[in-house]
Structures are given as C-alpha cells and as structure tokens.
Structure 1
C-alpha cells in the first residue's frame, strides 16, 4: 500500500483536498475517506481518521494510505444470471442482456458484464478493440435490457463496427414515457453533450453531438405512453436524454427526472427501456438478419399495471 503525505495549503473538505492533490475523482476520494485510509492532524504524530466532509484546516498534514484496487478494466470470467445467447453464429453472437449488466468493464463499475458473461459461457470473442471491450461494437446502458450483437471474429468486428459507425443497422427500442408526447409521433433532433454539472449525466446541449431519435406511439394510458423508438444516431443515454428534454422522461428513470412515486407504484427500480429489435447485414454472408427480444419480467409487470390487467397475486 502506497502512502501519500502533503501539507494543506488551503482549508477545505477532506474529499475535495484528496481529489485535488492526487488527481482523482471526488467520488473516489470520498470512498477512500469512508474506508478510513485518510488521516489528518497538525503533524505526523497527531493524525486521526477523517470523514469525507471533515473540514481540514490550513497547515494540517494529510496522509492517505492508497488502497490497492483491482484493475477495473480486467475482464472477469463469470456466470451472469439472465444473460441469454439467442443467436450463435460463426462471426457473432446476439445476446439478450438483462438490466444490471454492463456491456464491458469500465472504471467505477464492479458488477457483471456481457464480456465477462460470454467468457463464462465459453465463448471466444474478437480480440480487436481495447482489451476490456473485445468484440463490443455497440452498447446498452446498465439499466437497459435487450439485444446486443458481439463479434467473435476479427472480420466481424471490423464489419460490424463500420456498420454501426455508418448507421446501417436497425435498432428499435420500446420505452414507456411519462405523460403523453406531443406530437404522438415525431422526430427529436437535438444535440447531446455531457451535462456541465454532472460528469455522469448527459443533456441536450448547444454544441453537442448531433442526435436524432424517431418515435411513434403504440399505446397511451393517460399517465404514461408506450412508444417505439428508432435511432439514427447512438449517443450515450440518447433516448433517456431526448425524452427527458421533452418533459416526458422514461418512467423509472430517476436520473433524468422520472417521478419516483410512479416508479414505485409500477414496481420499477430502473428505466422502462428495452432494446426490442436489432437488424444488420450478416458480416459473413451479407444477408440481412433480424432478431427480437421479449420484455423482461419487471417491464411486463409495469405494462400490465398500466393496462389495468388482472395480475396474479
């Protein structure tokens, strides 16, 4: 375990000072404070463990015992419950991803991943791309369920990566949004960029990347509407951001302004958003292929409640 020691040249919160001095995120600095590895005092002989919000006085000595952490980008071979392979081709596999699973390892994420789950099932995926993203040609948010294609050969990785870059695959999502969109069918053409106040959120932002979402209403329930969404672009959180920008966030999506009371009434702990259909040119044969995915149980339950259907007790 490495130790960092420095004298405080301006007063401030412990987590802010640690983050600034070590060049790490405020979140990680706060986690280290919670672990009890940050101490402060007037000198090295009078140090006490401090919490993340502890005010550190000017001239204090701050000592951080940096914890050893596993590389967050290491691929962990694991069995991922609910991760189903629905197509097993020579060049690719198509998976039906459950919510709560990330596409690949990333800093700050310690949960299950599609990459790790496929490795656990014995699949050899393409080694192209960054080590932690091998075979990944597109992604779904952790809280979004549904279809993903993963390349298993180098040729397929290149072909599929180019296809998604050129926007030729057909990606159809179903989501339930709060209220009733106006118009009922339409296109949202609004640039998306990183939220200036939250480094983990995105927003409609002048100067952001071009982002185009087409939608049509499938069913209207009054307090919510089931819509089908087709993407021209594939920005991070695109559907969630665009509907939030219309003041019709995806129900259950508390990050982007959804009503927590409504989410609780529908039994949702994540956004009602599902990658329902995926089509693309087969990288080996050139034929057009399409795949479909049924709603996950939590989404089906919420939809049944909105429809007023009788539910089994």
Structure 2
C-alpha cells in the first residue's frame, strides 16, 4: 500500500499575519517546524511553497505536510484485533481487554496494544509510529487514546498538562466508603527497592483523584462498593494507590491489598474519555462497554 503523508490544512480568517505566527497558533512547536523544513515536509500557501516569513491574507489556505516518522526500533508490527471506538486522520481511540499490556517490555516484546496498532497503521499505509496518549496497566480494561502522528501527540500531551482531557473510571473496592463523594489529594512516588510498586510519599508527584460511590453492597458477608473515579492527574497506579491509602483497595488487586476471591485482576475499568478535538473542535465523549468479569461481581448482588 502506498504510504500516506500526514497533512494539516487551515483557511485564514484574518489578514496581515506572518505564516510563522499562523502556524504557531495551530500548536505547531518550533521543534516540529524545524522538522518540517529540514526532514522532508513542506508548507504550501494556496498550493505554492512559501517561506515562514510570507504574509497571509484572508482566504489563504495553508497546507502543512509533515515528514515521515521514523518507526520505533524494536516495535514489531503484528496483526491483532481491538474494538475501535473512534477514529479519524489524527486519533485512534480503542478499547483494551484486561490481560493485554499497552506497550512491550523486555520480557514481553510481543502481543501488546502497541504491536497491534503498529500493524494496523502499517496496513493503513500511514507513515507514523505509535503514540500512546493514555496508557492502562496490563490488568486494567477500557479506553486507550492513541495519536496517529507526532503533532497530534504533542497537542494532546499539552491538553493533558492543562488537564483538559477528562478520564472517568469505575472500580469495585473492598469495604463501604463512609462518604458518598470525596477527593484524595496525595503525592505518589516509587517505593524504595521496587520498580513496580508505588506509595504515598511527601517526595512523590502531585496526584488527585475524586471518588463517587455508585452503590454499596455485600457478597457472602463481605462489604463491597462500586465507585466512579475521576483522574485529575495521571500517575502510575494512581487509583490503585489512592484507594489503598484510604483503606479500600480494589477487589483483585493483590499488589495493593486486594483479594482474588471474586476476580483474578484489579477490578478497574477506564469507562469514559472526554475532550475537545484539537483539530476539529468537536466534543469527543467516548464510553467503553463494562467488562463481563466486573459485571459478574455486580450481578451476584441482585
């Protein structure tokens, strides 16, 4: 299949604006502009190549073609299935099953979402590497957002920093929370001597989670709560650590104090993703179907 180049076009609504300034208004960084100029991209105004000092007028159409991206070394493109929840020229939003890693590791270089997406992009003819925007732990199910090119990744990363990407999770946790709504604002850092486990520590990075109780119930005498969680930051294991810190670890999360009696993985699902599309200004609101293993726990109570 012929390779597809990533392009971005926009029509000027103002006059007497220098091309360089107009480009920056569309979020293209100085680094990206240098890459476009020197690594095989181009910038056209009304179909003609122009320098960044060119003065634009109302109605001028600017078309930017990005250079081909270098593929990630060691990332093997594989064929694999994943439900696609949203897709356009810039974004790919999909649903991940529990038990599949988001990215490869030294021990497990194959069979990850990144491998499958690399294969999908290759089949589509897109000359891009895999840009993961929202990552999930191996045993967490739900929504993953992937940028199809470097510029989209840059814009979405900036949105994450400004906290304009909204992620909502649902979890099943041990015990009955006393409050219906609460906020956990506690810094998270790596536990000494571990490359995996995280803890609440004053030396950690700022982390904030809001929690809302959906339902309290019991199974065989054990109190359990179904909760909705909203991330305001995106630290590794944030929900798992925060819920453990208030005495309500996730069912199935044995790393952070949960039991495997009802489920063999942490009962955590990335349910919703919302943001304003950085290219179209469309409101994107995506939901992922609740997984069967978590539904079976909830159905035991009826």
TM-score, normalised relative to structure 1: 0.67
Measure, in 2, the Cα distance between the counterparts of 1:126 and 1:283.
21
Give CA deviations for 1:54-76 in whole Å, capped at 9, x if unaligned: xxxxxxxxxxxxxxxxxx97212
Measure, in 2, the Cα distance between the counterparts of 1:242 and 1:87.
30
Stretches of 4+ moved more than 6 A in 1? none
Say whether 1:213 aligns with 2:195.
Answer: no
Aligned to 1:105: 104
Give CA deviations for 1:139-184 in whole Å, capped at 9, x if unaligned: 1111111011101123211111111122111100000110012323
Distance 1:152 1:191, change over 3 A: same
- Confirm or deny: 8 A CA contact 1:126 1:157 kept in the other structure: no
Aligned to 1:74: 74
Give CA deviations for 1:202-245 in whole Å, capped at 9, x if unaligned: 01112111100001000111311000000110000000000011
Distance 1:105 1:179, change over 3 A: same
Equivalent positions of 1:1-313 (< 5 A) are 74-81=74-81, 83-121=82-120, 122-123=123-124, 127=128, 134-222=130-218, 223-259=223-259, 263-264=260-261, 266=262, 268-305=263-300, 307-308=301-302
Which structure 2 segments of 5+ residues have no match? 1-71
Distance 1:295 1:226, change over 3 A: same
Give CA deviations for 1:277-308 in whole Å, capped at 9, x if unaligned: 00112122122211001111111112212x23
Measure, in 2, the Cα distance between the counterparts of 1:135 and 1:244.
31
How far 1:191 sits from its partner (Å)?
Answer: 0.6
Measure, in 1, the Cα distance between the counterparts of 2:257 and 2:193.
15
Give CA deviations for 1:86-129 in whole Å, capped at 9, x if unaligned: 1111111100011112222233334521111123333567847x
- Confirm or deny: 8 A CA contact 1:138 1:164 kept in the other structure: no
- Confirm or deny: 8 A CA contact 1:177 1:251 kept in the other structure: yes
Measure, in 2, the Cα distance between the counterparts of 1:124 and 1:166.
33
Measure, in 2, the Cα distance between the counterparts of 1:242 and 1:185.
14
Measure, in 1, the Cα distance between the counterparts of 2:126 and 2:102.
13
Count residues in correspondence.
225
Distance 1:252 1:125, change over 3 A: farther
- Confirm or deny: 8 A CA contact 1:213 1:231 kept in the other structure: yes
How far 1:197 sits from its partner (Å)?
Answer: 3.8
Distance 1:256 1:123, change over 3 A: farther
Larger RCO (CA under 8 A, 6+ residues apart): 2
TM-score, normalised relative to structure 2: 0.70
